[in-house]
Amino acid sequence: MTARRLRLIEPEESMTSETPLKIAIATNDMEHLDAHFGSARKFAIYEVTTAAARVVEVLEFDDVTAQSGQHNDIDDRITPKVEALSGCALLFVLAIGGPSAAKVVRAGIHPIKRKAPEPIAEVLAQTQTMLKGSPPPFLRKVLCRPKTDFAADYAEDVSE
């Protein structure tokens, strides 16, 4: 199973000089986060900064696992997906099984499960909000940001 790739090759002027976070979103309609990892026909790959987000690639798969299906080592449909997502820091999905999650994590990608489908625009806005605040330590490392003083992050919230 190979992925068909649609890749943006021209740099976009609206992106800032900050290091973008590359994320993948499991989708079947390119408008919503609406798929389980194994059954996702498409992954929308975005570069996200605090000020902008842009789609840079779309991966499409014909041969997918049934949404309620079991992983089959003889007919491995998971490994090609993980390999195609190389370079992404986050993976947003509705669900992901244990063996698949282990492969994703070993590839350096942090899976994030959502409880219900939601518009991709909302996922992007939430990611931008997280980047504007204090990203978790694993994301600071990916973004090459120094450690922050957590007390300073909350100093403005404290009133005397």
* Mean pLDDT of all residues in 52-80: 74
Contact, 39 vs 66, CB < 8 A?
A: yes
Q: What is the pLDDT of residues 90-121, one digit of tens each?
A: 999 999 999 999 999 999 999 999 999 999 99
Structural domains counted in the chain: 1
Which residue matches tokens 């998971």? 78
CATH code for the domain in which residue 26 is found: 3.30.420.130
Look up the domain containing 82 and give its range: 3-158
The single-letter DSSP state of residue 71 is: P
